[in-house]
Amino acid sequence: MIIAIDGPAGSGKSTAAKIIAQRLNFRYIDTGAMYRAVALSAQRKNADLHDLDIIAKIAEKLDIQLIPQAEGQQVLADGEDVTALLKNETVGAGAAIVAAQPKVREVLIAKQRELGKKGGVVMDGRDIGTVVFPNAEFKFFMEANPEERGRRRYLELKEKNPSANLEEIIEQVKRRDHEDRNRKISPLVMAEDGMLLDTTRFNPNEVVEQILEIIEKK
C-alpha cells in the first residue's frame, strides 16, 4: 500500500506523513529532500542552477540515500550526512529551480519508484499522486492559506536561526509555490482522485486523525 501526500510548503504534509508512517508501521519518504540534496550539491560547487546540462550531471552522479529514522529520515549525499543542511530556505529555493528540469525529475522519480515499489510507504512531495505513483491506494492533497504556511515555516526555521523574518519567509514560501504550481513539468496540482485537506485551522494530530479515519474506513 502506498499513501501519497502532496501539497505546497508548510501545508503540514511532512509532519502528518511522519506520524502516519509511525502509526501504521510504514516507511516515511520525504521526496523534497532529494531535490534539496541535488540543489545543495550544485550550490556547493557554485554551479549555475539554471544550467540544464550541469545540473543533470550532478543529479545523475549524486548518490542519495534516505535512511529511515525514528524521527523522520536521514539523508546521505555521496555518503555525507546532509540532513540538517537541507532545511534552509536557500536550499529550498534552489530545489524549486532544479525540480523544474526534466532530467532531474527523471532521475529522482526513478529512485522514488524503486523505494516505493514494495509498498508500505508514506511518501510526501508535489507529484506523488499524479506522476510518481498514480495508482497509489491513497492520495491526499494538503493545503493551508499562505500566511499560515509561512508562519509554520518561520517557527521551524527560527529554532536554528533566531533572526528569521516572518514576512520574508511568507514571501519566499509564496514564491516557491508559484514556481511549483506553474512549472511545465509535474506542476503541483491535486490528482483528479485526490482528497483535499485544508489544514489551516487544524493541528498536526487533528490532520493525522482525519487521514487515519479515511484509511481505516476503506
Chain residues binding ligand C5P by CB under 6 A are 9, 31-32, 35-36, 92, 95-96, 99, 125-128, 176, 180
User: What whole-number distance in Å separates Cα of residue 116 and Cα of residue 26?
Assistant: 11
The three three-digit cell numbers of residue 177, written as one number = 509555490
Nearer to ligand C5P (CB atom), residue 102 or residue 213: 102
Q: Which residue has the cell 519508484?
A: 113
**Least separation in angstroms between CB 174 and ligand C5P:** 12
Nearer to ligand C5P (CB atom), residue 37 or residue 211: 37
In three-state secondary structure terms, 139 is strand
**Least separation in angstroms between CB 95 and ligand C5P:** 4
Give the number of other Cβ atoms within 10 Å of residue 182's Cβ. 10
Give the number of other Cβ atoms within 10 Å of residue 41's Cβ. 22
**Least separation in angstroms between CB 160 and ligand C5P:** 15
Q: At what angle do helices 102-116 and 32-44 cross, to 10 degrees?
A: 130
Nearer to ligand C5P (CB atom), residue 26 or residue 101: 101
**Least separation in angstroms between CB 96 and ligand C5P:** 4
User: What whole-number distance in Å separates Cα of residue 107 and Cα of residue 38?
Assistant: 11
